[in-house]
Each structure stands twice: as C-alpha cells, then as structure tokens.
Structure 1
Amino acid sequence: MVDLHRLRENPPFPNSPLPVLFYPKVLDEFVEGEDAEKATKNLLKENGYTNAWTGGIHDFHHFHSYTHEVLVCLRGKATVQLGGPGEKEFSFSKGDVLLLPAGVAHKSIDSTDDFEIVGAYPNGIDFDMQKGDEDNYETIQQRANDVPVPEKDPLTGSDGAVQAYWDLTKGSEFD
C-alpha cells in the first residue's frame, strides 16, 4: 500500500507536481535485526538508489533540487513536516518509507533518541542542500521540476509506485 501526498508550492520551497510517496510499514519486518542497515542499503542499491547514508533528518526546512530522495526508517520514530512552514506533519516510524520528489521541503519536528534512517538517491546523484534562502527561486524550482522520474521504484524495481503514481498526466488534486 502506498499513500500519496500532493503538496502545494510554498515559496521559497517549490515542492513538486509529483506526489510524495509514503509506504507505511512496508519494511517493518525487513528492518529487524543487526544487519538492517546493510540489508536496506543493498535493497535500495539493487533498485538503482545509491549514494546511501545513515543518520537522521535535519531540524530545519530543506530540499534537494537535483534529485529525488528515498528515506527508510530503521528504528524509532519522528514527526516530519513536509512542504515547508505551516504544512503537513507526518508520523514516520520503523519500517516506513518516504520517497520525496526533488523540491519537496522536509524537516524533523521531533524524534525519539533511537530514530535512525537510511537515505539514498536514484542513480547515486549527488544532492544539493537548499534551505529556501536563494534569490533565484524560479531557476531552482524549474531545476527541481525537470528532474526525471526514476526508472525504478526504490522497493520493487519495475512496476512499483513510481511507475504507477509519478505520471504527470494523472490528476492534480491536493490531499
């Protein structure tokens, strides 16, 4: 099951015409055990999401304009705000996966002490750190909107949520 969350533009945070893909508890059993971090990175790598890292989510609004980002919660839980100030807050906990389109602002509001995630990027693209303080908003927004849809879903490879829901010809209703 995948939940779709469409976010409105919220300058200086462009967000995206693509919906955020939230896969609740999809990896709950997968992230059990001592090798959860390694197994998660391997799963993502098999599906073309590399340049992986382990840690938390910054406590300030930020986004990436060159690449999409997948986040897998290994342990603990956090409240994450997506879309910039005044926008939606989500509970993000062990086994949950978020796929953030380029341009989507995200920030940790609070988290448990044991909160830990793995993050990765399609095709290992290096990310840029945008905090919404640039003067060239339109250029950054266009760059984020021009990031191509990944060929593979981070969890299933082909025939996954990316292929099903990241088609701009589908509806544009906001959640």
Structure 2
Amino acid sequence: MKLPEIRTYLFQDDGTIPNNRVLPVVLYPGALKDQAAQTENLFNRHHWLNSWTNGVFPYHHYHSNAHEVLGVIRGSITLQLGGGQGEHVELNAGDVVVLPAGTGHKRLSASADFQVVGAYPDGMDYNLRTGKEGERPQVLQEIEQVPLPDCDPVFGESGPLLRLWKGLF
C-alpha cells in the first residue's frame, strides 16, 4: 500500500479539552479511498480492535484512556478537532484520522449517508469525557499513562504513525 499524504495537528490544552500535549493528530487523506468498505477489517488486522460503525457525537468529547482511529467509510463529515478553538477538518470516504488520547472532537456537519469506523489499539476500552468540571486532574494523569500503539492502524508495524509518535520520546 502506497503511503499517502500525511497531515498532523498538535493542539494545546484549552482549559476545557486537554488534548494531547505531546502526540499530534495524524490525518491520512484518501488512504483507503479505494477500499473504504474494508476499513474495519484493516484496522482489526493491525490490532486496532473494539471497533464499531456509526457516527460522531455532535458535542466536544474525548477519550482520556485510549487513542482512537476513525475511518470514514461513507459520505463526508466536518469535524472540529482540538476543542472550541480547534481546527475544522473535512473528511471524506477513505480518509483516516488517528486521535491521541485526550484529543477533543465534535461533528459539526455530515452528509446523510455518513458512516465511520472507530477502533482502539489492542481493543482498549475507552471512556467518554466532555470537559466537565471535576474531570481534572484525573484525566491528565490518564492521558499520560496511555501506551503507544504497536501498529499503525492503516499501515501496520512499519506505518508512519509509529515513526511520528515514537520519534517524540
């Protein structure tokens, strides 16, 4: 599989959504364009498990105890990444985005046929946090304790995610 264009985004803590102070969001535009229907199987083969197919919540949320991969299998979506002051990112069928633990995300709009597959390294259970008062300092500790994945969800053991994330330590 040919390596796609890669975009990265690093978001700072905005006081409500912690984001991840070290690991960037990694976006693979069009990485699975010709095989969007195989997205879940591909993630699972690369040990990103506990997968689901659905949509994205229309409110800011994050997972403090797990990294998450989202692969668009149908339609399109505009996400806001990084909290209320974050980036608006348009994703289409075949696009994949990897969200490090703590990264805020919210659906701003989506096409009527939109569907996404989500999964987590080694099938980690994930929580749902929204930036409510009282979530800190526990979530900050949880984010720092999430281990790095062993495989890139799209490209496996030799994927760019591992080089990007492991190179930061």
TM-score relative to the length of structure 2:
0.93
**Does the 8 Å contact 1:60/1:107 carry over to 2?**
yes
CA distance, structure 2, for counterparts of residue 155 and residue 56 of structure 1: 20
User: How many angstroms does 1:42 deviate by?
Assistant: 1.3
Residue 71 in structure 1 maps to residue 70 in structure 2: yes
Residue 156 in structure 1 maps to residue 155 in structure 2: yes
CA distance, structure 1, for counterparts of residue 138 and residue 127 of structure 2: 14
Cross-structure match for 1:11 = 15
2:25 is matched by which residue type in structure 1? V
> What are structure 1's unaligned runs of at least 5 residues?
171-175
Cα deviations across residues 96-141 of structure 1 (Å, max 9, x unaligned)? 0000000000000011101110000111111100011041412201
TM-score relative to the length of structure 1:
0.90
Cα deviations across residues 51-110 of structure 1 (Å, max 9, x unaligned)? 110011100000001100000001111110001112111001111000000000000001
Residue 21 in structure 1 maps to residue 20 in structure 2: no
Q: 1:30 aligns with which of 26, 35, 44?
A: 35
**Does the 8 Å contact 1:82/1:104 carry over to 2?**
yes
Q: Indicate how the Cα distance of structure 1 residues 78 and 97 shifts in structure 2: closer, same or farther if over 3 A, else same.
A: same
* Runs of 4+ in structure 1 over 2 Å off: 167-170
* Aligned length, in residue pairs: 164
CA distance, structure 2, for counterparts of residue 52 and residue 80 of structure 1: 20
Q: CA RMSD in A?
A: 1.2
**Does the 8 Å contact 2:23/2:168 carry over to 1?**
no
> What are structure 2's unaligned runs of at least 5 residues?
none
Q: Indicate how the Cα distance of structure 1 residues 20 and 135 shifts in structure 2: closer, same or farther if over 3 A, else same.
A: same
Secondary structure of 2:40's aligned partner: helix
